[in-house]
Chains A and B, each alone.
Chain A
Amino acid sequence: MTFLTGTYFLFATTLVMAIITVVAVNLSKSGAWTPNIRRIAGLDSIEEAVGRATEMGNPVHFTPGLGDVTAEVAPQTFAGLEVLGFVTELTAKYNTELIVTIRIPNVFPIAQEIVRQGYIAAGKPDMFKEDTVRFLSSEQFAYAAGVMGIFHRQKVAANIMMGAFWAESLLFAEAGAQVGAIQVAGTAAMAQIPFFVAACDYTLIGEELYAGGAYLSQDKVKLGSIGGQDIIKGITMALILAGSLMATAGSQMLVDLLKK
């Protein structure tokens, strides 16, 4: 057995990253170490948005995005659904109507269960109506047209969008702005973030969506993994800083080491 040349540092890096991740996840699972995930600022804006809707007496709209739970974007959809649990509790607390729209058939039963459980947990099972969670259409633009219709007819006062989005993000953001809703969005779909930032009041960017979901669900594996990723990030930052300081002093040692 021989090592292929030029892969030593790469192999070592992979090994170190794997050990950090596994140890962090296991420590968190066993309860020995729980990474203290900070509260994400965007979550406060959700509370603010629901409060505004309550004052105005108009409903809150929520979408967990357009991604399937079996596709590559599944983590975004799951994080969105974790936020849905939080939004349900808030609307129950404030007695504000909630409308959840769904594009993916697989997501529909999951969302329905989350909302039903959320209302029961808040002691308000009566707030759950058959049309609280609505499946609109599995075609992308037909779903978007359905959401826009709901915005206008029901005078939605707060619009919360958390999950995977594609080109329809523009349509939601515009329709929400037209009815004057407070909008909070969150997605790891990099191409759509600019439009959300320009049209929404607050946007959770990329990894913030996952961290927000983990914070709300307090899922040990996810928390441990985020803790492990933070450690790797810390080492990365130290490496970059050291490397560029050494380069400033004229040494390419670290750069060369990384190539080994």
Chain B
Amino acid sequence: MSFLSKLQNIDRRVIYVIVLLALAIPLINPLGIPLSISPLTEDVYNLVESLQPGDVVLMSLDYSPGGSPDVHPQAVAVAEHLYKKGVKMAMVSFWDAGPMYGEQILKKYEEQGLVYGTDVVNLGFVSGGETAIRQFGFDVPGTVKVDFRGKNTAGMPIMEGIKDARDFALVIDFVSGNPGINEWVRQVQGPLGIKLAAGAVTVNVPQTMPFVQSGQVLGLLQGLRGAAEYEILIGVPGTAAAGMDAQSLGHMAIIAFILVGNIAFLLDKKVK
């Protein structure tokens, strides 16, 4: 076996170890590479910035453990911004794991004095996918009569004046697949014309772009990097920002793999 074909057939475990090191070392010893802010992230930031204290924002938490590392930090960062602005947060989920992530976020703000039912509420999980999103969008109190914690939503101060999705000052869908932003756009944004923004798992970003370009989605956080940019915008760097150096080295490693693999492939073809 020639050197070139040996190089092409290197043990995959060697590659795994290189990737692990490229990610772990900068996590432990950050390099401090500067991060520029994408206009799409700024759009979301400005939407939140334009809200008034007392407005109610709906966060639709539509992700699972599989996508959570890419999306949950976005929800955490946006919630922090909403908290600072004095905006009220309602949460709902069309994925069954969603409410648990909602509880993780709410716990922190309840400890800081926000009152459940007045400033924040977790409306829980609604089964039924696309149909559920439509039903919720058209009739919020009728669809979630009881919240995640088993309390009646009727009479909660935060739910006062909320009839359909148009009564939220902004709806942000944090999403790692279907049902998610597609369904929100076609079942609620289209017919009702709500203000809709999204935080998407990186993999879904390209598919969401036509909605952004056509103005159906007003702002988009793009995966973990979107969360990191948001953390920097609100001046509270968190786990997402801490991971960006590792993202840099990880990308470099993958690009190097593609280059070396292809150089060996092309040279090998020439030799043959």
Contacts and interface: CB of A to CB of B under 8 A. Distances in A.
Interface of A: 178, 190-191
Contacts of A190: 207
A191 B203 contact: yes
Interface in B213-262: none
Nearest to B178: A72
B91 to A, nearest CB: 27
B53 to A, nearest CB: 34
A178 B207 CA distance: 31
A178 B9 contact: yes
A220 B203 CA distance: 37
Interface string B1-25: 0000000010000000000000000
A224 B128 CA distance: 32
Contacts of B203: 191
Nearest to A6: B191
Nearest to A4: B191
Contacts of A191: 203
A94 B83 CA distance: 69
3 contacts: A178-B9, A190-B207, A191-B203
A146 B76 CA distance: 40
Interface in B1-53: 9
A178 B11 CA distance: 11
Contacts of B9: 178
A32 B203 CA distance: 45
Contacts of A178: 9
A190 B205 CA distance: 12
A190 B203 CA distance: 11
A84 B48 CA distance: 53
B180 to A, nearest CB: 14
A219 B228 CA distance: 51
A71 to B, nearest CB: 12
A190 B207 CA distance: 9
Query: Which 3 residue pairs across A and B have the least CB separation, nearest first?
Result: A191-B203, A190-B207, A178-B9
